[in-house]
Amino acid sequence: MNAHDNRPVGIFDSGLGGLTSLKAIKALLPHEDLVFFGDTARVPYGNRTREELLRFSEQNIRFLQSKDVKAVVVACNTSDAMARAEVQKEFDLPIIGVIDPSARLAAEATLTGGVGVIGTHVTVTSGLFNLLIPLYNPLAQVTAVETPKLVPLVESGKTHETDAETVAVLNDYLAPFQNGAIDTLVLGCTHYPLLAELIGKLLPGVTLINSGAAAAQRLKDTLTQMDLLADRTGPGAARFYVSGDPDPFARNGGEFLGEDLTGRVQRQV
Ligand code: DGL
């Protein structure tokens, strides 16, 4: 059977981080239309309660459904850790997360077995990375660290080497990993790949796993298995919605994507 589905794929995160998934999905599935939602009025998600994360996830998926999406990528480790499995029960469309795909990539990437994870409070305390990575690679020793100051820095566009505060915060957070104990670090929050250049400089030789990007292959596999791939021949289009101010999102997100998002980010209504 060669069925297809030209409806868009929905992607959500608390903010800019989900663009790391969007970028990878655009590269891997260039014919798909995408609808992105960043919940910037309620960012950060990293310290939210389970009840809040369930409610926000459900609301975000309903918003994306109002745009007629055929599948949703939860491009947020925090929501994935706390809410995805639960909200999947309420929706009759595939809802893909970021944690399992990136845990698997990390397990496959490590040669020494030393794997670090950085993530939000919710993600790290969920223990999911500590559980999943050794399932895929029994030799893996996982050290997970909460790095809560990073999301606000990324949201305010402080992702450059000239941003002294960001460099100092990263130096502090990454100190436990600077002794050669790990060869692989999971960027267990979709915001962190926006800091990959700085992190890479502080941890030379360490393989960085981009949790946002890891979901792209899982999405492709799912759409293929379910006969949901688009069959258009031209490039797909992306639409962007946020719950907060569209301007900083357009500025910082456009810089990360390498495209001009001015006037292309709409406020959620
Ligand atoms: N980017 C999200 C994640 O992957 C959420 C971070 C936050 O809002 O605290 O966890």
pLDDT at 36: 98
Q: Residue whose CA is closest, atom 2 of ligand 1?
A: 76
Report how far residue 28's alpha carbon sits from residue 235's, in angstroms, rounded to the nearest whole number: 12
14 lines ligand 1 (CB under 6 A): yes
Domain count within the chain: 2
Residues 46 and 27 both lie in one domain: yes
pLDDT at 3: 87
Q: Compute the distance from residue 148 Cα to the ligand 1 centre, in Å.
A: 9
- Residue 2 is assigned to a structural domain of this protein: no
Q: Mutate which of 37, 77, 155, 249 to test ligand 1's pocket (most atoms within 8 Å of Cβ)?
A: 77
Report how far residue 190's alpha carbon sits from residue 208's, in angstroms, rounded to the nearest whole number: 12
Q: Domain with 223 in it: what CATH number? A: 3.40.50.1860
> What tokens does 239 get?
């639409």
- DSSP string over 196-263: HHHHHHHSTTPEEEEHHHHHHHHHHHHHHHTT-----SS---EEEEESS-HHHHHHHHHHHHTS--TT
Closest to 206 (Cα-Cα) out of 214, 216, 198: 198
| Residue 14 neighbours by CB distance under 10 Å | 30
Is-above-0.85 flag for pTM?
yes
If DSSP codes are grouped into helix, strand and coil, which group holds residue 142?
strand
Residues 91 and 222 both lie in one domain: yes
Q: Compute the distance from residue 201 Cα to the ligand 1 centre, in Å.
A: 23
The number of the ligand 1 atom at minimal distance from the alpha carbon of 47 is 9
Residues 203 and 131 both lie in one domain: yes
Residues 152 and 88 both lie in one domain: no
The number of the ligand 1 atom at minimal distance from the alpha carbon of 43 is 8
- Residue 3 is assigned to a structural domain of this protein: no
191 lines ligand 1 (CB under 6 A): yes
For every one of its 269 residues, what pLDDT tens digit does the chain have, with 9 covering 90 and above? Answer: 568 999 999 999 999 999 999 999 999 999 999 999 999 999 999 999 999 999 999 999 999 999 999 999 999 999 999 999 999 999 999 999 999 999 999 999 999 999 999 999 999 999 999 999 999 999 999 999 999 999 999 999 999 999 999 999 999 999 999 999 999 999 999 999 999 999 999 999 999 999 989 999 999 999 999 999 999 999 999 999 999 999 999 999 999 999 999 999 999 98
Residues 82 and 123 both lie in one domain: no
Quote the domain boundaries for residue 189.
99-211
pLDDT at 100: 98
Residues 107 and 188 both lie in one domain: yes
- Residue 219 is assigned to a structural domain of this protein: yes
Last residue of a domain, one of 211, 236, 259: 211
- Residue 42 is assigned to a structural domain of this protein: yes
Last residue of a domain, one of 193, 211, 229: 211
- Residue 4 is assigned to a structural domain of this protein: no
189 is known as an active-site residue? yes
Residues 31 and 58 both lie in one domain: yes
Last residue of a domain, one of 164, 179, 211: 211
Q: Which residues contact 76 (CB under 8 A, 6 or more apart)?
A: 12, 13, 14, 17, 18, 45, 98, 190
188 is known as an active-site residue? no
The number of the ligand 1 atom at minimal distance from the alpha carbon of 17 is 1
- DSSP string over 148-196: TTHHHHHHTT--STT-HHHHHHHHHHHGGGTTS--SEEEE-STTGGGGH
The active-site residue, picked from 144, 189, 203, 228, is 189
The active-site residue, picked from 54, 73, 76, 153, is 76
- Residue 86 is assigned to a structural domain of this protein: yes
Residues 129 and 47 both lie in one domain: no
Residues 201 and 108 both lie in one domain: yes
Residues 135 and 168 both lie in one domain: yes
Report how far residue 4's alpha carbon sits from residue 259's, in angstroms, rounded to the nearest whole number: 29
124 lines ligand 1 (CB under 6 A): no
Q: Compute the distance from residue 135 Cα to the ligand 1 centre, in Å.
A: 24
Residues 53 and 157 both lie in one domain: no
- Residue 255 is assigned to a structural domain of this protein: yes
Residues 90 and 116 both lie in one domain: no
10 lines ligand 1 (CB under 6 A): no
Find the helix or strand (DSSP H, E) in which 5 lies.
none
Over 15-79, what HEC string results?
A: CHHHHHHHHHHHHHCCCCCEEEEECCCCCCCCCCCHHHHHHHHHHHHHHHHCCCCCEEEECCHHH
- Residue 142 is assigned to a structural domain of this protein: yes
